[in-house]
Chain A
Amino acid sequence: MNHTRLGFLTPSGLLAAGLTVLVIVVIGVWQGGVIFNPGALNAQAGDPLSGATSHAGIGGLCSACHAPFWGPDWMADRCMDCHAEIAAQLADAQSLHNSLLNNGFPMNCWDCHPEHRGALERLSIFEPAYFPHLGFGFPLLGGHAEAACLSCHVGQDYIHTPADCASCHAKEDIHNGELGADCSTCHTPDGWKPSTFDHTTAIFQLTGKHIPVACADCHTDNRFKGVPTACAACHAKDDVHDGVLGAECSTCHTTDGWKPSTFDHTTAIFQLTGKHIPVACADCHTDKLFKGTPTDCASCHTKDDVHLGQLSSNCKECHTTAGWIPSTFDHNTTAFKLDGRHGAISCASCHSSKTFVGLPTGCNGCHANDDPHNARFGNDCGACHSTTAWRPASFDHNLSAFKLTGKHVNVSCESCHSNGILSGAPTSCGACHAGDDAHGGRFGSNCDACHSTSGWSPATFDHNLSGFLLTGAHAGLSCDRCHTGSVLSSPPTACEGCHAEPSYHAGVFGTNCGQCHNTSNWSASWSGPHPGGCDGNCINHENATCRDCHPSTLAAATCTSCHDSDNPGDGGDD
């Protein structure tokens, strides 16, 4: 294989190429240009022109239309050779074909009149999608592109078709000509709706809720001129005030909506304050009445009267518009002054069943159930208690059978009145003081025999009421000299219980101190005969004391204290 040659330039290839050229040339010579014919020519018959009644009638003579491109004439020139009437049109500025060429569209004949499309195909195409209608200064846009040609080109007059809106659309003008003839001011060829009328150019500016309103809602009967601009013209039927407040809605309302309305109630007789402000208009202005609405409290609030008409119908004597509660009733203007805790409790504490008139003012009117004394002290709590508190109470205990004296005054009530029972507390000392008895009950339970309420000490015990009279030096002793220990014990009443016999006595006299001593004078005062067998007559020693003869002990006697010797015969009188 020869690799230096291009592959397709084989002998058979070159032969085939030559044969192909030959076949085409032969057919061309034999049949003309028919093999280059892309389709049959139009065969619809018309007026005979240059010997042919249709393009098909020209036959296979391509050159009848197809001029060689190197030649002087164009295909259009070949068209004009036969179509002389079109040639005449092109000279007429008012003509269809002239208009096309003079509107910036250098069109060819075959742009609208394509050939070789088949014998029965239309020779003229004016499809809006293809036909350069814009060339006539009237582009086919929107609905115009869909319109049938004859709907505008009446009577097939394509030359004098008017371009203004009204010429075709006058009969469709729902505005009855009021808005002029130039529909395009508001409408586009895309459709009558939506129209783009700029309402800001109108006297009546559209704001708020007027904007989305359909045109026809205001422009009834397709009336667009002289539409009244007053509120009432459209909204009279909407007037919930039934015209009472006049026709100028905008005094209170805006186009943003009926509500909220901006009525300035301060211009009214009745000023809105406190809770009256947020109240819905209709709550007071029932039945849409806005004039002559009563201003007194009771007109609206009778149903709210928790006092059931017992008090004044002029609520504001006590209440303000800030709310029913707190009310500012001055209770002190009544017979029942509120002081102490009465001033702080809720009204309902006393006025429980919403009764405000004729309530009892006595304490037990409210406090009957609070009385822990079971009415023993009567109904006048105030005799002891104040409104400040139940306690402290100012009870005068001395009005009772049990006077409070001394230390009883300051003890708490509970010390005696245990368990909260005030009545019937025992009055005896022992009832309270049994546990306090330092005497172990030996003196009985009647403490006040010795003690006073001023204190356990000093006690006023009369020792002489006991079996042991306190005389002489005994009277000045403190109790505990005899009553040792914590208990007032019962010490012996015999002398030796306290007083041991002195050694001096040497056991001569025994323990009966009273033989010689008394409580006033511990010094012996013996005046009787000398004890011990001398029978008193033996010696006249009346003026001698015991210690004159018994200096150290009674067991031994000496005479020499007075006498010179112990010899009775000596000395005689000395």
Chain B
Amino acid sequence: MLRKNKELWLSLVAALVITGIYGFVALELRAVPAASGFFGHLLGVLGFILMLMTEVLYSLRKRSRMARWGRMADWLQFHIFTGLVGPYMVLLHTSWKFNGLAGAVTLLTVIIVVSGFIGRYIYTRIPRTMDGLELGEYASPQKEAALARARLLLSLWHAIHIPIGMALFVAAFIHIGAALYYATLLH
């Protein structure tokens, strides 16, 4: 049996490890690690890859009927883990400056994490199989009503969470492109 909230504990451990490394690098540099430095870029790139995995892999598994790799419950835990650790690394990548588009991406990242956290609890109110499919009809009218409310709430949350996520990824890609253009690929 998996331990309850295992993904949250793993996320905390990962965040503490990353914080420790960040603190060590900061002490070595005697400065806040710059976003454009090696370590800053590493944080940003890895964090963003994790965030991409958060959405794309989870969605692929969720929508796929052909390839059933692993159980949905495990994928949700993976989604939550990468959805916490990735944004945390991105947050450290900012070097605590929130100018322009990069600042907007950071803001959207914070919003999407909070939104995802809320959605996780709405999602789990609907009984599902281990593969994430909703279970069948319920005899009790009270339970049917509660389930209907939960489904409405979930669709409403989807209507908010997914656009924010799309805006975040589009803005992030543009930020990456700008960084490549203005800084990384300059010569």
Contact = CB atoms under 8 A, between A and B. Distances in A.
A20 B63 contact: no
A17 B63 contact: no
Contacts of B102: 36, 38
B60 A74 contact: no
Nearest to A71: B187
Given A37-B99, A38-B97, A38-B102, A67 B186 contact: yes
B162 A69 contact: no
B63 A75 contact: no
Given A68-B181, A69-B185, A129-B30, A8 B101 contact: no
Nearest to B175: A36
Contacts of B169: 17
Interface in A1-59: 3-8, 10, 12-17, 19-21, 24, 33-39
Contact of A7 (B62, B164, B167, B182): B62
Contacts of A129: 29-30
Given A21-B174, A24-B101, A33 B165 contact: no
Contacts of B185: 69
A17 B186 contact: no
B170 interface: yes
Contact of B167 (A10, A17, A36, A67): A17
Contacts of A5: 63
B167 A4 contact: no
Most buried by A among B55, B97, B99: B99
A75 B167 contact: no
A38 B63 CA distance: 38
B135 to A, nearest CB: 16
Contacts of B65: 3-4
B184 to A, nearest CB: 9
A183 B25 CA distance: 35
B187 A16 contact: no
B167 A20 contact: yes
Nearest to A36: B178
Contacts of B187: 69, 74-76
Contacts, number: 93
A439 interface: no
B124 interface: no
B35 A24 contact: no
Interface in A488-506: none
B60 A6 contact: yes
B163 interface: yes
Contact of A33 (B62, B104, B182, B186): B182
A16 B63 contact: no
Given A7-B63, A12-B159, A21-B174, A66 B186 contact: yes
B166 A17 contact: yes
Most buried by B among A17, A19, A66: A17
A62 interface: yes
11 contacts: A7-B59, A10-B163, A13-B165, A14-B166, A35-B101, A35-B104, A36-B175, A36-B178, A37-B100, A76-B187, A129-B30
